[in-house]
Amino acid sequence: MNDSHTALLLRDGVLLLGAAIVSVLIFRRLGLGAVLGYLVAGALLGPQGFALVGDAESKLGIAELGIVLLLFLVGLELNPARLWRLKRDIFGFGLAQVLLCGAGLSLAIYLLTGFSPAASLALGLPLALSSTAQVLPMLQSAGRMNTPLGERAFSILLFQDLSIVPLITVIAALSRAPVDPAAPPGWLLGVYTVAAIVGLVLAGRYIMNPLFRLIGGLGERELFVAAGLFTVLASAAVMEWLHLSTALGAFIAGMMLADSPYRHELEADVEPFRTILLGLFFIAVGMMLDLHVVAARPAFVIGMALLVVVVKAALIYGIARAFRIANRQALALGLLLSQGGEFGFVLFAQAEGARLIAPEAASLFGAIVTLSMATTPFLMKLARPYYQSVGPGARDDLDRPDGNSAPAIVVGYGRFGQTVAQMLMAKSVPVTIIDRDAEQIDVSTDFGTKVYYGDGLRLDLLRLAGAGEARAIVFCVDGDGLTAEVLDPLLRAFPQAAVLARVYDRRSLIRLDGLDLAGTTREVFESAVCMGRQALGAMGFADEEIATVEQEYRARDGRRLEAQSRSGDLRSAMETMFSPDRALGGKA
């Protein structure tokens, strides 16, 4: 039995991943985005397609962890101060969007279908929600997460996630089913929500940060991965136990760690799991698409999907204009958030359990949500001229202390890196500092300097720290770890940045020959020259003579280094070295 179960899991895994790779490659090549590829792959593999993979519901349950991980990563980008700054968009724009879109779609369903008012409301309110799992990755991949457009879209999506509990309460209030004695009443869910948020805030501050500090001191990356996933899953599990939104719990946990020195390391470790599970989520959504329902009433399903998109786009555009948002950005917001969302499936199931709608209606409107999500890649292509004109690269200054858009990154904050970083700060240059020594991070915090934990030679971590937009990346790490093999991928990944490196000695410098580095400094070269000047002064030589010696030494050292680099032999150009019988002014 175990062997057959393992064989089934392996077969399903191979089919799902294989179909995902092929479909995403095709749809990416066509410029239609990965999400549509996942949906099509799921529809083809599922019970309504070729029936190669079954049990879509259980796979959807596992894949919903992708949404939880996504909200955790989004929370890591939003410290409480920035969230407070967005309060008008969250509780003003977000509330208006959910209420007006929910009312408009409920009215349309009531007038067009003949459903009862309660059933129309149970279907229309979920359709007001957009797809967080679809929109946020699009904004992140387009580099728009921190633009005014991205912030407003995120604010609306966040309020939609917050509104899940009230919407479930509304459906429960309309229920025709017998009351479940185990289900908590609506007011108690509200109390649970506040208590859970307070508890997660305290846990983040007094449990998780000390835990990450302890793990950072050990330097075990595997423990960081485990601790990061534990944080996400534990916060989601607490919210699930309280019958609340798991995604909201993960978001709060992430937000409480947004100011943590370990933020970038967490992002880099959790991101691969988010990517895989989110892809699996969309495949599972595609598998659940009831093609028989679509085939039985194709005009209704397609027409309602288009109606959802048109009504939401028009209402969101109107709300945005009422909030005095520029015309182009308002249009881009409307197109971006016009689809149905993944939480619609959850609320349709709630409505079915409350006996407000029949199972056939739940399947029908599930298909409508899926088709509306499939329109998003096309609408994004249509909206691109509008959201690209909003002001590319326009980021808020509040992002800079978090390392999102600092123009300089300093990797390594020991004796060497501290001097480099402080000289940049002297000219008010925002700097993101990364170091892998947890003790150094604590000491720096005592001196009022924010240092992030992590291996600054990792490409994924640098990208999350903002290296894709940095003007300078300065490697100040100890030892002989900066090799051409390490630096070459970084130079290719971040061509816009001037990369400077501290190297161990002339051997290390020779090994980096040929790389397009903006500058290199040998660890003790400049300090040794400085002490040489001091020694000559102590011997009574005049400042002019000392300056001449320094100038000549630097010139000879440069010629010798060039010869050594060409030949690969450290004995090259030995005649340029000063020695007892080759003094300045004597025979060189």
Structure tokens at 97: 């969007």
Non-local (6+) Cβ contacts of 552 within 8 A are 584
- pTM for the complete prediction? 0.61
Compute φ and ψ for 472, nearest 5 degrees.
Answer: -145, 135
Burial 420-458 (b: 16+ CB within 10 A, else e): bbeebeeeeebbbbbbbbbebbeebeeeebebbbbbbbb
**What integer best gives the mean pLDDT of the chain?**
79
Token pair recorded at residue 403 = 């390392």
Mean pLDDT to the nearest integer, 478-493 = 84
State the pLDDT at residue 189.
66
Question: What's the whole-number mean pLDDT along residues 9-22?
Answer: 82
Q: Does residue 92 have a pLDDT over 70?
A: yes
Helix axes 34-45, 376-388, angle to 10 degrees: 180
Residue 403, pLDDT score:
37
Q: Could you tell me what percent of the chain has a pLDDT over 70? A: 87
Q: In what order do the strands lie in the sheet with 519-522?
A: 452-453, 431-435, 408-411, 472-475, 498-503, 519-522
- pLDDT score at 392: 39
Highest mean pLDDT out of 39-53, 65-79, 197-211, 530-544? 530-544
**Which pLDDT value is given to residue 401?**
34
User: Residue 126 in contact with residue 167, Cβ under 8 Å?
Assistant: yes
| Over residues 42-57, mean pLDDT | 75
CA angle 160, 463, 69 (to 5 degrees): 35
What are the tens digits of pLDDT across the range 352-384?
877 888 878 887 888 888 888 888 878 877 766
Quick one: DSSP state of residue 574?
Answer: G
For residue 89, the 8-state DSSP code is: I
Residue 585 binned pLDDT confidence (cut-offs 50, 70, 90)? low
pLDDT tens for each residue of 313-330: 999 999 999 988 888 888
> What are the φ/ψ torsions at residue 448 (nearest 5 degrees)?
80, 20
Query: Is residue 241 a contact partner of residue 429, using CB atoms and an 8 Å limit?
Result: no
* pLDDT, mean of residues 130-153: 77
Full DSSP string of 392-403: TT---GGGGGGT
pLDDT value of position 502: 87
Band (61; pLDDT cuts 50, 70, 90): low
pLDDT band at 399 (very low <50, low <70, confident <90, very high): very low
